[in-house]
Amino acid sequence: MSPSLPIIQPEDEAKADRVQGGSYHAPEAVEWHPALFDYLLRLGDDSLILGQRLTEWCGHAPALEIDLSLANIGLDLIGQATFFLNLAGEVENAGRDGDKLAFHRDVLAFRNCLLVEQPNGDFAQTIARQFLFSTCQLALFQGLVGSNEPRIAEIAAKAVKEVRYHAELSAEWVIRLGDGTDESRQRMIDGLDWFWRFVDEMFEMDELEADLVAAGIAVDRTQLRCGFDIRVQQVLREATLPLPEYPRAIRGGRTGHHSEHLGHLLATMQFLPRTYPDAVW
């Protein structure tokens, strides 16, 4: 007597079809996927918060040309945030869109890294933050262009050119301020010193991202670190600047443990849509 095979259930057939890419059609609405939602918040919030910070320079930059440079970068970042947060809303499938996620979410629910929420300080400090962030973001987006999730790949492909410009422009300024006057050099050193403690967090992996890396959706951030270090050293050498010593790294943004600065930033950013929820412009 031959061994009996298990009875094939209809759901098994559907599963087999999915695996083989047979007659299975992806549903229009994306399945609710908490890890993917959280990952999109991380990507979107990094861009959103830094974009908002940069717009604080509008009308206050040391020169009209720099005013426009910083505003352009800020607008690029807010554009990226719009794409990521809209997609996050789609993935969540609970009726929230990008605006809702940006303007009607409380500080503990933000998933940006701590670096982007830090105050602008002087121009050198802003440039230090931009250089560190954009150099990391460039490598990240270059990886995300190959993501299995086509909509993430699409957003990254569009943004990667913008980010390359941000990384190059901020590197140029690091070099000019570092290799400039005694005062600009000191300010550049101070700016890098201040932000150095927030670098590690940008490359931190947790279980959530590791799962998404295994699924081919996310990029392993630890793999980006070596290229980042090489680029930073290269620019600082050209800027004749010392490599800052690593202080104890501060982290927590990815799980909602933010510095006191983020609440103030959100108060400014969210005030209008929260006070006048139906306002349009």
Measured CA to CA, the distance from residue 32 to residue 85 in angstroms comes to 15
In the complex, the smallest distance separating the C-beta of residue 255 from other proteins, rounded to whole angstroms, is 36
DSSP annotation of 201: H
Asked if 144 contacts 156 with a C-beta cutoff of 8 angstroms, the reply is yes
Judged by beta carbon, residue 125 or residue 147, the one nearer other proteins is: 125
Rounded to a whole number of angstroms, the minimum distance from the CB of residue 65 to other proteins is 4
Least Å distance, CB 256 to other proteins, is: 35
CA–CA separation, 271 and 274 (whole Å)? 5
Q: Which residue number, 68 or 109, has a Cβ lying nearer to other proteins?
A: 68
Q: Which is nearer to other proteins, 139 or 169 (CB)?
A: 169
Q: Under DSSP, is residue 152 helix (H, G, I), strand (E, B) or coil?
A: helix
**Least distance from other proteins to the Cβ atom of residue 19, Å:** 45
Nearer to other proteins, 191 or 253 (CB): 191
Which ranges of the chain does DSSP label H, i.e. alpha helix? Answer: 10-20, 34-55, 64-92, 98-103, 114-117, 123-144, 150-178, 182-196, 199-202, 207-214, 225-238, 260-275
Long-range contacts of 146-149 (CB under 8 A, 24+ apart): 147/216, 147/217, 147/218, 147/219, 148/215, 148/216, 148/217, 149/36, 149/217
Three-class secondary structure of residue 245 per DSSP: coil
Closer residue to other proteins, CB minimum distance, 30 or 66 = 66
Burial of 184 (0-12, 13-18, 19+ CB in 10 A): middle
* Footprint of other proteins (CB under 8 A): 62-66, 68-69, 72, 169, 172, 176
CB of 178 to other proteins, least distance (A): 13
Give the alpha-carbon dihedral of 220, 226, 230, 232, to 10 degrees.
Answer: 50
Q: Which is nearer to other proteins, 166 or 258 (CB)?
A: 166
Nearest approach, Cβ of 112 to other proteins (angstroms)? 25
